[in-house]
Chains A and B, each alone.
Chain A
Amino acid sequence: QKEVEQDPGPLSVPEGAIVSLNCTYSNSAFQYFMWYRQYSRKGPELLMYTYSSGNKEDGRFTAQVDKSSKYISLFIRDSQPSDSATYLCAMSARPGAGNMLTFGGGTRLMVKP
């Protein structure tokens, strides 16, 4: 079993919908949680970075971490066609350089106009 599980999708939603993307993990040492967005044939770019449990909001994006359930979520409000991409969750036990990130397999999202 993988350390980080993520539904590969594809997830297809209409423009304006609220999108919920999720990851589960098994390593209780993970404390730093990230969401990356990856467009086709591009490198991943960091969207959200959270530490420990709780919520973090940035514009249309909200990241939630529930360490007790080993479950993290990314919500996208008012989804746009430009949000169509693969979303990767990543997590680490330590901050700072050399903190090996463990990635989920990514969820492909398609937002239809």
Chain B
Amino acid sequence: GAGVSQSPSNKVTEKGKDVELRCDPISGHTALYWYRQSLGQGLEFLIYFQGNSAPDKSGLPSDRFSAERTGGSVSTLTIQRTQQEDSAVYLCASSEGLGLAGGGNEQFFGPGTRLTVL
């Protein structure tokens, strides 16, 4: 299918290790978003890309978190020196971009990467 894909689907790591999560957005979608979903919690916004630039990094919880996007397509979210509280499902979404006044800018989500930090 042509939906948003994420890899890996599951990642188990030891505390203190670095991890890299990947997102492949829908082809042609210029906007890309990263969210985090902890057990029983709603989605927490992390970062937004328009093209390769990130105008809004306000949601990144600490300087251990970083993200980049290259070629206006694939994005990677990197977590350095992972902590147990980083355990969550990391969701990526993409949308067409500028959208229309009044809405019409649906965000399509990938299946997520389930990160477990031991």
Contacts and interface: CB of A to CB of B under 8 A. Distances in A.
- Same assembly: yes
Interface of A: 4, 6, 8, 32, 41-46, 49, 51, 88, 90, 95-106
A105 B50 contact: no
Nearest to A97: B31
A98 B50 contact: yes
A105 B101 contact: no
Given A95-B100, A96-B105, 13 more contacts: A43-B112, A44-B91, A88-B43, A95-B103, A97-B31, A97-B50, A97-B95, A97-B98, A97-B99, A103-B43, A103-B44, A104-B42, A105-B42
Contacts of B108: 46
Contacts, number: 77
Interface in B92-118: 93, 95-112, 114
Contacts of B105: 95-97, 99
B65 interface: no
A42 B111 contact: yes
Interface of B: 4, 30-31, 40-45, 48, 50, 55-56, 58-59, 91, 93, 95-112, 114
A105 B41 contact: yes
Contacts of A105: 40-42
Contacts of B30: 97
Contacts of B93: 43
Nearest to A89: B42
A108 B99 CA distance: 30
Given A8-B40, A88-B43, A46 B100 contact: no
